[in-house]
Amino acid sequence: MPKHKIGIVGATGYTGSELVRLLIDHPDVSIEIITSESKAGTSFSKINPHFKGRIDMKLEPLKNLADHELDLVFLALPHGVSMDFIRDWNPDDFRVIDLSGDFRLGSAEEYRQWYHKKHKAPDLIEKAVFGLPELFRDQIRNARLVANPGCYPTSAILALAPLIKNEIIEPEQIMIDSKSGVSGAGAKAKQQTHFPEVFGNFSAYGLLKHRHTPEIQHNLARYAQKSTEVLFTPHLIPIDRGILTTTYSTPTKDIDKEYLGEWYYSFYEKEYFIRVVDDPPNVKHVRGSNYCDIHVTYDERTNKVVTVSTIDNLVKGAAGQAVQNMNLMFGFIERSGLEISPLSP
Ligand SMILES: NC(=O)C1=CN([C@@H]2O[C@H](COP(=O)(O)OP(=O)(O)OC[C@H]3O[C@@H](n4cnc5c(N)ncnc54)[C@H](OP(=O)(O)O)[C@@H]3O)[C@@H](O)[C@H]2O)C=CC1
Ligand SMILES: CC(=O)N[C@@H](CCC(=O)OP(=O)(O)O)C(=O)O
């Protein structure tokens, strides 16, 4: 079978480079074009010397996309920039997986409220499918536009879905506390992510107003068909990649700890990338891989269900999940190109 032709827009960024890393070894696709505006004309391996001899192709400007007959384009662009591209896109030309947050929420109004910008392609919001394969697999298969989830929402939604689906917890009293490595903030230099600011430091940010709050609420509600409310606090920690998320929720009924563990095992039994684990996982257990490790327990003293989950923000939290979505959209084996063992220690 001829290989499917793909393009990666924003290939100089962290998630774009990670897409290149995963897709050069994918058996069923060929990378036809990788783009950058600032580094167009430069070879990819010149910017990323670890790819020398692996992928030396030149970065091209976005406008060259039209010179290629593509089956699918990954957009690894900042939010706000993605919707400019998608606004002018003809869905009959190629399918799109957007790694930004532009199409993950429920409406243009919600987008304006949390992103503080007017949405430029509001009619496409409803047509986009939230690309969390474990929960929305059937819709992803037929989608022309997939909104790849944010990294924090991936770790939180996967940890909470079994509890919400089976009405084990109150869906409107959920606390979520997440910690992320610095690559979550992207490759562009910013003061908050500058080495002297981050090294030896640990800080909370985006308190009460981080845009992943509605993303988690909206997509959990969409999955479980009930309204949810979460209080989400992200933190920046001095590691390069990885996210650890802890959730606290109140049970709706008496809880049997053993039943809880068994329910998680059975809920994710067929999911290759979800590992339900007996002890709290750490970020090195998933580093470089597409796994999400999840631990669940119950505290009788405070009557709270607690989950701890970990992902690599650039893989299951971004590029790996995008490849998993592409595999579904093209009818490939879902884990094709993603059977990567974690790098720990
Ligand atoms: N980092 C992470 O862990 C995660 C990121 N995401 C999302 O994925 C997307 C990409 O993130 P990330 O890779 O971290 O970001 P980076 O800042 O590392 O990279 C952004 C890329 O976008 C390109 N770009 C920036 N502005 C423009 C523009 N105006 N026109 C065209 N190209 C532009 C840059 O190319 P150049 O400057 O070379 O032209 C660069 O290749 C974002 O929406 C982010 O929120 C989602 C989940 C996790
Ligand atoms: C550490 C850090 O800064 N993380 C990013 C989240 C990365 C991500 O998933 O962002 P999108 O929703 O924009 O795709 C942040 O909090 O903005």
Sheet harboring 145-147: ordered strands across?
Answer: 59-60, 29-35, 4-9, 72-75, 95-98, 145-147, 129-130
* Domains annotated on the chain, with CATH: 4-149+316-330 (3.40.50.720), 152-312 (3.30.360.10)
Separation of 264 CA from ligand 1 center, angstroms? 34
pLDDT of residue 68: 96
- Give the mean pLDDT of the chain: 97
pLDDT of residue 90: 93
Rounded to whole angstroms, how far apart are CA atoms 272 and 321? 12
Query: In this model, does residue 344 exceed pLDDT 90?
Result: no
Q: Is any ligand 2 atom within 6 A of the Cβ of residue 100?
A: yes
Segment 324-337, tens digit of pLDDT: 999 999 999 999 99
Residue in the structure block whose two tokens are 């976005």: 62
Q: Provide the ipTM.
A: 0.98
| Beta strand pairing call for 174-180 and 230-236 | parallel
Segment 121-179, tens digit of pLDDT: 999 999 999 999 999 999 999 999 999 999 999 999 999 999 999 999 999 989 999 99
Rounded to whole angstroms, how far apart are CA atoms 283 and 241? 8
pTM above 0.95, yes or no: yes
Q: Which atom in ligand 1 lies closest to the alpha carbon of residue 59?
A: 38
pLDDT of residue 225: 93
Which residues fall within 8 angstroms of residue 293, CB to CB, at 6 or more apart? 275, 277, 281, 285, 286, 309, 310, 311
pLDDT of residue 264: 98
Q: Is any ligand 2 atom within 6 A of the Cβ of residue 150?
A: yes
